[in-house]
């Protein structure tokens, strides 16, 4: 195998590596938690409470790890928020389209009703004229006979 950076030339076990790092961070917190809490610092930094051989943590690694975690969670939250905003905008557009569609349907129905009424009215008027002409013709025929 290639050089993995491990002393016994075995492949690097990523699970063990992560667990090891987390244990180092746990050690770091237990051996030197918060400088604003001096009594807690003193009690937790005693060797009997922290029996691990390397009580000095690498704070830069911890800070970088926490920073990366925060950044990843923040990015995921931003993506989720953006997707939610897009979905909301899409729903609002669909709602507006439906409202316009309802108004257009109402207008088309009104136009159709008017279109259907016009021929009927036209036929009624034509029938009235025809009837009037027939009556006039009949009256004139009667008047001629008299």
What CA–CA distance (Å, rounded) separates 11 from 4?
6
Q: 98-115: string of b/e by CB count within 10 Å (b at 16+)?
A: eeeeeeeeeeeeeeeeee
Distance of alpha carbon 70 from alpha carbon 81, whole angstroms: 16
pLDDT in the model for residue 97: 84
Write out pLDDT tens, residues 23-48. 555 555 555 555 554 444 444 445 55
Q: What whole-number distance in Å separates Cα of residue 141 and Cα of residue 136?
A: 9
Q: What does the pLDDT look like over 78-100, one tens digit per residue? A: 999 999 999 999 998 888 888 87
């Amino acid at each position: 195998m290639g050089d993995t950076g491990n002393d016994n030339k075995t492949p690097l076990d990523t699970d063990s590596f992560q667990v090891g790092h987390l244990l180092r961070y746990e050690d770091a917190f237990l051996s030197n938690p918060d400088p604003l809490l001096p009594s807690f610092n003193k009690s937790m930094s005693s060797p009997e409470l922290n029996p691990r051989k390397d009580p000095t943590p690498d704070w830069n690694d911890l800070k970088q790890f926490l920073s990366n975690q925060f950044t990843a969670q923040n990015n995921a939250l931003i993506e989720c928020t953006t997707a939610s905003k897009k979905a909301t905008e899409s729903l609002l557009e669909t709602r507006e389209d439906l409202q316009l569609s309802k108004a257009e349907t109402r207008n088309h129905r009104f136009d159709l009703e008017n279109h259907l009424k016009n021929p009927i009215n036209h036929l009624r008027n034509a029938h009235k004229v025809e009837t009037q002409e027939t009556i006039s013709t009949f009256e004139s025929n009667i008047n001629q006979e008299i």
